[in-house]
A and B are shown apart, each in its own frame.
Chain A
Amino acid sequence: MILQLTNVSKHYKDFSLKKINLSLERGYIMGFIGPNGAGKSTTIKLIMNLARKDEGEIKVFGLDHAKHSIEIRNKIGFVYDENHYYEELTAEEMKNFIRSFYSRWDEPLFQRYAKQFGLPLTKPVKQLSKGMKMKLQLAVALSHQAELLIMDEPTSGLDPIIRQELLEILLSVIQDENKSVFFSTHITSDLDKIADYITIIHNGQILLSTAKDELLDNYGVIKGSKDLLSFANREHFIGLRENRYGFDALVENRREAAKKYGDKVVIEKPTLEEILLYITRRGAVHASSH
């Protein structure tokens, strides 16, 4: 495992991460999704050792993340939404500043990415577009030969064309079977295609963490008339919503549901966004009933 969190908790006054478990193998992409405030950034901060966990274990490259933090940081590429570069420096100067922190900097590789991404190296960072700033961070991450890319909302605020470009770059990154990408986002359509695994977090808890294909191939959105609902089957409907004309919900196994209810219902293949919506709605109901 390149990344493994076991029962990790962190308590703040008004928010807690509760017993987070997740693991990622080398050579794969994991999408980390959840609504704003669910705990995505907090989890990433804990992994990066930028905040101290209260309980649990975090291992990166099989090493304890706090004890080996320097060694680990050398092999992690961190890309996040906010710009953390000095605005007045040019992209080139910024790169020269950063490279001094890394023992495995590969300058020809950086130059190659700079060219591929079309980075204007002579421009001050403050004049770069949002997309260019993200690409600069990514070029830096890839040039110190990071084996694990951790990206916190890298696509937020970017246009669809640059987002697609980023996804293609990420797919090239994992070609060598050695690198992995851990990618938090609330734009689930980015992950519909390329993610191997999906982890959903909500109210500081992991609601599920599984292969994306499992989700998209099995789950279904079901819609039907309310007389089909009974006390017994309600619990099979995730995030059940009723209105005057009928109900809609998520089911874990759409083929089984199709057999059971036949043509009395409409069952559709879900998108990740729908899965997220229904599952977090259930989470909300559970939380309020406690």
Chain B
Amino acid sequence: MMNIILSQTSEDPIYMQIVKQIKAQILKGDLPSGQLLPSIRSLAKDLNISVITTKRAYDELEQAGYIVTVSGKGTYVADLGQEMLRETRLKMVEDKMAEAVSAAKSLGLTLDELHEMLKLIYEG
């Protein structure tokens, strides 16, 4: 079951909010490969938004390889393959770490201090 919650006040455009949420659910495995997704029109209707918005979201997801459209049949979650899934998830961790590192640098923390912090957090 796909979940999408849209905010009218978010700085992210509506199509981007849809992209992010569907992507996250695919990566987490909540939307398994081969899963049929709603058509752009029925998604627009259910979310009470314009067709252009859902079309743009699906276009982005398709270009990034997360979904595939089989003409005349519908849109499905793509088979990302175990390797790509793992890589994408690793990339997500890397991105978060890069954020943490740049925050640490701006405060003048050393690598050792950061290691120590990471260790504490990791070991909970």
Q: Which A residues fall within an 8 A CB radius of B?
A: 27-29, 167-168, 171-172, 174-175, 177, 192-197, 211-213, 216-217, 269
Contact A196 B48 (CB under 8 A): no
Contact B48 A29 (CB under 8 A): no
The answer to whether B82 has its CB under 8 Å from any CB of chain A is no
Q: Inside 8 A of A216's CB, which chain B residues have their CB? A: 13
29 contacts between A and B (CB under 8 A): A27-B51, A28-B51, A28-B52, A29-B51, A168-B48, A171-B44, A171-B45, A172-B45, A174-B51, A175-B42, A175-B45, A193-B48, A193-B49, A194-B44, A194-B49, A194-B50, A196-B50, A196-B51, A196-B52, A211-B52, A212-B52, A213-B13, A213-B14, A213-B15, A213-B52, A213-B53, A213-B56, A216-B13, A217-B13
Secondary structure dominating the interface of A: helix
CB of B80 to closest CB in A, whole Å = 28
User: 1/0 contact trace for B11-33 toward A, CB 8 Å?
Assistant: 10111000000000000000000
Secondary structure dominating the interface of B: helix
Please report the C-alpha to C-alpha distance between residue A216 and residue B45 in the assembled complex, in whole angstroms.
Answer: 19
Please report the C-alpha to C-alpha distance between residue A220 and residue B44 in the assembled complex, in whole angstroms.
Answer: 24
Q: Inside 8 A of A167's CB, which chain B residues have their CB? A: 48
Q: Which of A29, A193, A211, A216 has the most CB of B within 10 A?
A: A193
Please report the C-alpha to C-alpha distance between residue A167 and residue B51 in the assembled complex, in whole angstroms.
Answer: 13
Please report the C-alpha to C-alpha distance between residue A28 and residue B41 in the assembled complex, in whole angstroms.
Answer: 10
Please report the C-alpha to C-alpha distance between residue A196 and residue B25 in the assembled complex, in whole angstroms.
Answer: 27
A-B contact number at CB 8 A:
46
Q: Which of B11, B41, B44, B51 has the most CB of A within 10 A?
A: B51
CB closest chain-A residue, reference B8: A192
The answer to whether B106 has its CB under 8 Å from any CB of chain A is no
CB of B75 to closest CB in A, whole Å = 14
Q: Inside 8 A of B9's CB, which chain A residues have their CB? A: 269
CB of B106 to closest CB in A, whole Å = 17
Q: Inside 8 A of B14's CB, which chain A residues have their CB? A: 213
Contact A171 B56 (CB under 8 A): no
Please report the C-alpha to C-alpha distance between residue A28 and residue B53 in the assembled complex, in whole angstroms.
Answer: 11
Within 8 A of A (CB), among B41-89: 41-42, 44-45, 48-53, 56
CB of B73 to closest CB in A, whole Å = 15
Please report the C-alpha to C-alpha distance between residue A89 and residue B51 in the assembled complex, in whole angstroms.
Answer: 39
CB closest chain-A residue, reference B10: A269
Q: Which of B9, B11, B50, B51 has the most CB of A within 10 A?
A: B50
> Which residue of the partner chain, among A177, A193, A195, A217, contacts B41 with CB atoms under 8 Å?
A177
Please report the C-alpha to C-alpha distance between residue A27 and residue B50 in the assembled complex, in whole angstroms.
Answer: 11
Q: Inside 8 A of A195's CB, which chain B residues have their CB? A: 50
Please report the C-alpha to C-alpha distance between residue A217 and residue B49 in the assembled complex, in whole angstroms.
Answer: 14
CB of B95 to closest CB in A, whole Å = 21
Please report the C-alpha to C-alpha distance between residue A217 and residue B42 in the assembled complex, in whole angstroms.
Answer: 23
Contact A213 B50 (CB under 8 A): yes
Q: Inside 8 A of B48's CB, which chain A residues have their CB? A: 167-168, 171, 193-194
Q: Inside 8 A of A212's CB, which chain B residues have their CB? A: 50, 52
Please report the C-alpha to C-alpha distance between residue A213 and residue B54 in the assembled complex, in whole angstroms.
Answer: 11
Q: Inside 8 A of A213's CB, which chain B residues have their CB? A: 13-15, 50, 52-53, 56
Q: Inside 8 A of A193's CB, which chain B residues have their CB? A: 48-50
Q: Inside 8 A of B44's CB, which chain A residues have their CB? A: 171, 194
CB closest chain-A residue, reference B15: A213
CB closest chain-B residue, reference A255: B11
Q: Inside 8 A of A196's CB, which chain B residues have their CB? A: 50-52
CB closest chain-A residue, reference B50: A196
Please report the C-alpha to C-alpha distance between residue A197 and residue B14 in the assembled complex, in whole angstroms.
Answer: 15
CB of B101 to closest CB in A, whole Å = 24
Contact B41 A174 (CB under 8 A): yes
CB closest chain-A residue, reference B6: A193
Q: Inside 8 A of B49's CB, which chain A residues have their CB? A: 193-194
CB closest chain-B residue, reference A176: B41
